[in-house]
Chains A and B, each alone.
Chain A
Amino acid sequence: EDQVTQSPEALRLQEGESSSLNCSYTVSGLRGLFWYRQDPGKGPEFLFTLYSAGEEKEKERLKATLTKKESFLHITAPKPEDSATYLCAVLSGYSSASKIIFGSGTRLSIRP
């Protein structure tokens, strides 16, 4: 069964304390892995797409990496405004048979 698991569920960091969020997946025929940021009461905001193992994407303090089994979202020297829930999702299948599965998310809290 296709599955996406994110860990930890919640993470509290001090401002400037770097860390990583994990997204492990089991899908047949990965076509893409996506990271989103979601603020309370709002829709998820797209951050990155990774298509193949070894690929990396960066945006400001965030860097996403991908292996054949998992993805990491590394956050370097975070600031309080980085506090949010970070969601991971994987895409498999083609055209009308494509399927996207979301993980449960990691709630990140950055203390000043």
Chain B
Amino acid sequence: ETGVTQTPRHLVMGMTNKKSLKCEQHLGHNAMYWYKQSAKKPLELMFVYSLEERVENNSVPSRFSPECPNSSHLFLHLHTLQPEDSALYLCASSQVQGGPYEQYFGPGTRLTVT
């Protein structure tokens, strides 16, 4: 595997389900990110982990819970979601020390909440 991978690629869940999204980066980066992308809206940064420490949480509802067990893996735990949470969820990674600093994205998980 190379780059940034995400599983599953598609997910349909009911409002009472609990599911998790997984992201893995194979680039040796030290920061990982979760973004939400809804139709016709810009990327919304949800969470940032830098050097395995959560450094940003942009007023995201508590039904989204991130976990970063090490610098290569990132999870987004989902529970009691709402239909408006349906979107493309993107994971990215980058370097925050020493550069280069560009983010590399995974293919995304298309989430549909019914």
- A43 touching B90, Cβ below 8 Å: yes
Q: In A88-112, which residues have CB < 8 Å from any B CB?
A: 89, 91, 95-100, 102-105
Partner of A34, one of B53, B103, B110: B103
- B42 touching A102, Cβ below 8 Å: yes
CB distance from B47 to the nearest CB of A (A): 13
Per-residue 0/1 for B8-44: is the Cβ within 8 Å of any A Cβ (1 yes, 0 no)? 0000000000000000000000000000000001110
Q: What's the interface size class on B, roughly?
A: 20 to 34
- How many pairs of residues, A versus B, come closer than 8 Å at their CB atoms? 55
Q: What's the interface size class on A, roughly?
A: 20 to 34
- B88 touching A31, Cβ below 8 Å: no
Partner of B100, one of A49, A96, A97: A49
Tell whether B96 is near chain A: CB-to-CB under 8 Å.
yes
- B102 touching A32, Cβ below 8 Å: yes
Tell whether A45 is near chain B: CB-to-CB under 8 Å.
yes
* Residues in B whose Cβ lies below 8 Å from that of A80: none
Residue from B55, B102, B107 with most neighbouring chain A CB atoms (10 Å):
B102
Q: In B28-71, which residues have CB < 8 Å from any A CB?
A: 41-43, 45, 50-51, 53, 55-56
Tell whether A75 is near chain B: CB-to-CB under 8 Å.
no
CA distance in complex: A84, B31 (Å): 27
Known: A42-B108, A43-B90. A100 touches B42 (CB 8 A): no
CA distance in complex: A41, B11 (Å): 14
* Residues in A whose Cβ lies below 8 Å from that of B92: 43
Tell whether A8 is near chain B: CB-to-CB under 8 Å.
no
Q: List the 8 closest pairs (A to B, CB-CB), nearest first.
A: A43-B105, A104-B42, A96-B50, A102-B43, A96-B55, A44-B105, A43-B108, A49-B102
Binding site for A on B (CB under 8 A): 4, 6, 41-43, 45, 50-51, 53, 55-56, 88, 90, 92, 96-97, 100-108, 110
Binding site for B on A (CB under 8 A): 31-32, 34, 36, 41-46, 49, 87, 89, 91, 95-100, 102-105
